Amino acid sequence: MGGVIPIPKAFLDITGDVCPLTFVKTKLRLEELAPGDVLEVRLQGPEPLQNVPRSAKEEGHRVLAVKHEGACYHLFIQKGEQS
Among 2, 7, 31, 81, binds another protein (CB under 8 A): 2
Among 58, 69, 70, 82, binds another protein (CB under 8 A): 58
The binding track of 4-43 with respect to another protein, each residue x by CB under 8 A or -, is ----------------------------------------
List, in sequence order, the alpha helices (H) in the chain: 21-31, 46-58
Indicate whether 64 belongs to the interface with another protein (CB under 8 A). yes
Contact 72, 57 (CB under 8 A): no
54 vs 61: CA distance, rounded Å: 10
Residue 17 near residue 45, CB atoms below 8 Å: no
Kindly list the catalytic residues: 19
